[in-house]
């Protein structure tokens, strides 16, 4: 029986998928099985994998979405530990070795994660994701902000008996939901090294902003996650979600939706600006009032920009 089960869900990405599998086969640690769960691909995925033969275990199912595909892969896993890799991402060679060592050395840990490089569609590194240094690996800090990246996670399989698998009612942020449910019951650890490479490209599902917002709001208010938290803590976290997505919409120049998110933030918690740190406030000695008012100011700015945008398009 393998020590680690590597679950790779896939859908119509035969080109990237082979790179993902090759990054697993290049691991320094070799006691693993590779489970490829094909979620109803209509391209040449099956044919493209034929040359791997017994190096992988290939399963096909009718299309049910990425969450169901991950769950199907986990149900087929035999390993003590389960690791996840999306079909367009990559691992660095020491990933499995370092994480198996971490879980073996601390039997209380439910899962371990790490930092990750960000690469473009051609494989060039363009960024690095890592946890903010002061954020300790606790449920409370994870609830405040997600710093667990799915492609870097390795789970102790027996812990899933208490939490269940991914929530199939969530299609994008199902990973954050599971990490919170695990962290609610068990300790977890973060390895301060980039052990994977997340590929950013135009077809990434994470670009679906409205659905991401909807699912984030649901997760931070879910009974099994936040049911025992104070009303104020839940309101603050909800308002933070609105601010996060307001900034995302603003960057995309969707000023109407950005303004709605900023407005919802202050309606949810009127003093949410006290938890918001714009760059210009970092050097201010007494910045609390400025930060609180800045959110209200952004509501006005967004709606004014939304009004002016149609007018500017009419100008010669």
Could you read off the pLDDT of 214-273 as tens digits, one per residue? 999 999 999 999 999 999 999 999 999 999 999 999 999 999 999 999 999 999 999 999
CA distances from residue 112 to 9, 108, 191, 192, 276 in whole angstroms, order as listed: 20, 11, 7, 11, 29
Rounded CA gap, 262 and 57, in Å?
47
Cα 110 to Cα 81, 130, 175, distances in angstroms: 10, 20, 14
- Domain positions in the chain: 4-206, 230-314
CATH topology for 4-206? Spore Coat Polysaccharide Biosynthesis Protein SpsA; Chain A (3.90.550)
pTM metric for this prediction: 0.91
User: Tokens in use for 170?
Assistant: 């969530």
| pLDDT at position 129 over 80 | yes
- CA of 201: how far to CAs of 32, 64, 243, in Å? 29, 23, 24
Q: What is the pLDDT of residue 284?
A: 67
**Average pLDDT over every residue of 184-212:** 88
**Residues 164/207, Cβ–Cβ less than 8 Å:** no
**Residue 21, Cα to own-chain centre: how many angstroms?**
21
d(CA 35, CA 78): 10
Paired residues of 51 in beta bridges: none
Residue 272 exposed, middle or buried by CB count within 10 Å (0-12, 13-18, 19+): buried
């Amino acid at each position: 029986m393998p020590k680690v089960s590597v679950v790779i869900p896939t859908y119509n990405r035969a080109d990237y998928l082979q790179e993902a599998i090759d990054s697993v086969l290049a691991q320094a640690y070799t006691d693993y099985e590779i489970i490829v769960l094909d979620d109803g691909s209509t391209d040449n995925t099956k044919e493209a994998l034929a040359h791997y033969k017994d190096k992988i275990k290939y399963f096909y199912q009718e299309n049910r979405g990425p969450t169901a595909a991950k769950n199907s892969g986990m149900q087929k896993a035999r390993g003590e530990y389960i690791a996840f890799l999306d079909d367009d991402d990559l691992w660095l060679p020491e990933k499995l070795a370092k994480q198996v060592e971490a879980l073996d050395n601390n039997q209380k840990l439910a899962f371990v994660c790490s930092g990750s490089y960000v690469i473009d569609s051609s494989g060039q590194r363009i960024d690095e994701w890592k946890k903010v240094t002061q954020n300790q690996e606790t449920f409370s800090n994870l609830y405040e902000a997600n710093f667990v990246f799915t492609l870097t996670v390795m789970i102790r399989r027996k812990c899933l008996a208490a939490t269940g698998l991914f929530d199939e009612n969530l299609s994008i942020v199902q990973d954050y939901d599971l990490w919170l449910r695990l962290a609610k019951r068990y300790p977890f650890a973060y390895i301060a090294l980039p052990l994977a490479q997340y590929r950013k490209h135009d077809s990434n599902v994470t670009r679906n902003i409205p659905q991401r917002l909807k699912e984030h709001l649901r997760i931070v208010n879910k009974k099994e996650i936040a049911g025992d938290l104070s009303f104020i803590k839940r309101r603050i976290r909800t308002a933070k979600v609105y601010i996060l997505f307001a900034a995302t919409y603003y960057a995309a120049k969707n000023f109407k939706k950005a303004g709605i998110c900023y407005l919802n933030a202050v309606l949810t918690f009127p003093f949410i600006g006290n938890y918001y740190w714009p760059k210009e406030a970092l050097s201010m000695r007494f910045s609390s009032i400025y930060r609180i008012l800045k959110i209200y100011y952004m509501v006005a700015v967004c709606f004014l920009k939304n009004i002016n945008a149609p007018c500017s398009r009419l100008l010669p």
